[in-house]
Amino acid sequence: MNYNKKSVESIDVKGKRVLCRCDFNVPTKGGKITSDKRIVAALPTIEYLMKHGAKVILCSHMGKPKGEWKPELSLKIVADRLSELLGKEVIMAADVVGEDAKAKAAALQEGDVMLLENVRYIKGETKNDPELSKELASMADIFVNDAFGTAHRAHSSTAGVADYLPAVCGYLVQKEVSIMGKALADPARPFVAILGGAKVSDKLNVINNLLEKVDTLIIGGGMAFTFLAAKGYDTGKSLLDTEKLDYCREMLKKAEEKGVKLLLPVDTVVASAFPSPIDAEIEVKTVDSASIPADMMGLDIGEKARAEFAEAAKTAKTVVWNGPMGVFENPTLAQGTIAVAQALADSDAVTIVGGGDSAAACEQLGFAREITHISTGGGASLEFLEGLELPGIACLQDAE
């Protein structure tokens, strides 16, 4: 996939109606937004379009209404918050591609901003229905995709509309593609990737793809135990993906053949049972990863593993991290994840954190400002690391 895409700055938007796909899938409770981070993240692109005389038509999904009109998933609360942030009324459409949306889009003046209703209120959205794509495109002259979090989905509002309009990226997507794209295509070396999370099966293709690119691959979290078992170690009651043992052996062999250093935890924090509730104090101890007791399970990486992983991160020039090292929601079992986050914060390398739990950990621990880039897309960033083509990126015009 070509990572060099045209941006909003490479196309004349003055006087043009610009359909801008954002990720306004914000968390809510009791009809109120609990975090407006995704709305704030979209502001640079929206403000650029306003400043340069575009007639801005925003669209997004929220939740999974599955083609049904669900009032609790209306984007009206997003329009209200966006109005506050922009200091200007954001016109709210009563529908997606109906009479109200089209009339309001046609009446827009330069610098005006409107928001369409939840695009997933229409069943054709997630099916990339050409008719819906045409309807969306009919309201605009230019398409801007600034929703990296949905770029791995070939939906009408993320990719289909680009069949009918000139398509470029907004600042958020541009940043994701340029930083992550360079890291995968032409990284400063040594290049270290750190993978965690529960299951090997969740990251099969990521591991395989990264072994083609990195100098060191570090594996922690629950997925490490299947690799340890593949090496013949006893893993006790630890999470084990028995169907992927042969795959892990293949990856260990591939790393050896390619001269990639593959690091697994040399020691492990274990307990007799999984903590329940999640924040309950549990009795833990640290053991050598080669001899986890039969009646215990691994729940975090040990102190020696933390030091080894941290050293690899600190001496790297590029680091990509996706997935926690243990049950980081529990303070007792968060030390491995904290150590990795701290190592990235202390490193002089280009540091990239994938979406989901890793990003949440960095933000909760206060390390976000020290990280080069925290991805805004969980599934999208994983597919990026797999080397897959993302439909919402591939559909954009290539820069010259």
Query: What are the structural domains of the chain?
Result: 8-172 (3.40.50.1260), 180-386 (3.40.50.1260)
Please, which pLDDT band fits residue 49 given cuts at 50, 70 and 90? very high
Name the catalytic one among 236, 354, 356, 378: 356
Quick: pLDDT tens for 66-98.
999 999 999 999 999 999 999 999 999 999 999
Query: Is the pLDDT at 280 greater than 80, yes or no?
Result: no
Residue 202 confidence (pLDDT): 81
Please, which pLDDT band fits residue 64 given cuts at 50, 70 and 90? very high
Q: Is residue 98 among the annotated active site residues? A: no
Please, which pLDDT band fits residue 358 given cuts at 50, 70 and 90? confident
HEC profile of the chain: CCCCECEHHHCCCCCCEEEEECCCCCCEECCEECCCHHHHHHHHHHHHHHHCCCEEEEECCCCCCCCCCCHHHCCHHHHHHHHHHHCCCCEECCCCCCHHHHHHHHCCCCCCEEECCCHHHCCCCCCCCHHHHHHHHHCCCEEEECCHHHCCCCCCCCCHHHHCCCEEECHHHHHHHHHHHHHHHCCCCCEEEEECCCCHHHHHHHHHHHCCCCCEEEECCCCHHHHHHHCCCECCCCCCCHHHHHHHHHHHHHHHHHCCEEECCCEEEEECCCCCCCCCCCCCEEEECCECCCCCEEEEECHHHHHHHHHHHHCCCEEEEECCCCCCCCHHHCHHHHHHHHHHHHCCCEEEECCCHHHHHHHHHCCHHHCCEECCCHHHHHHHHHCCCCHHHHCCCECC
Residue 207 confidence (pLDDT): 94
Q: Is residue 15 among the annotated active site residues? A: no
Cis peptide before 391 (omega within 30 of 0): no
Name the catalytic one among 5, 17, 21, 38: 38
Query: Which distant-in-sequence residues (6+ apart) come within 8 Å of 280 by Cβ?
Result: 330
Residue 144 confidence (pLDDT): 98
- Per-residue pLDDT averaged across 22-29, rounded? 95
Query: Which distant-in-sequence residues (6+ apart) come within 8 Å of 140 by Cβ?
Result: 16, 17, 18, 19, 57, 105, 165
Residue 124 confidence (pLDDT): 97
Q: Is residue 81 among the annotated active site residues? A: no
How far apart (Å, rounded) are the C-alpha atoms in residues 172 and 25? 15
Query: Which distant-in-sequence residues (6+ apart) come within 8 Å of 89 by Cβ?
Result: 83
Query: Is the pLDDT at 276 greater than 80, yes or no?
Result: no
Residue 383 confidence (pLDDT): 84
Query: Is the pLDDT at 145 greater than 80, yes or no?
Result: yes
Residue 259 confidence (pLDDT): 98
Name the catalytic one among 63, 98, 111, 379: 379
**Helical segments of 58-210, H only:** 76-86, 99-106, 130-138, 171-185, 204-210
Q: Is residue 199 among the annotated active site residues? A: yes
- Per-residue pLDDT averaged across 243-267, rounded? 97
Query: Is the pLDDT at 44 greater than 90, yes or no?
Result: yes
Note if the pTM is more than 0.95.
no
CA 266 to mean position of chain CA atoms: 29
Smallest Cα–Cα separation from 325: which of 348, 353, 357?
Answer: 357
Query: Is the pLDDT at 355 greater than 70, yes or no?
Result: no
Average pLDDT of the chain, as a whole number? 94
Quick: pLDDT tens for 171-207.
999 998 888 888 888 899 999 999 998 888 888 889 9
Tokens of 144: 């801007």
- Per-residue pLDDT averaged across 316-328, rounded? 93
Name the catalytic one among 199, 249, 258, 317: 199
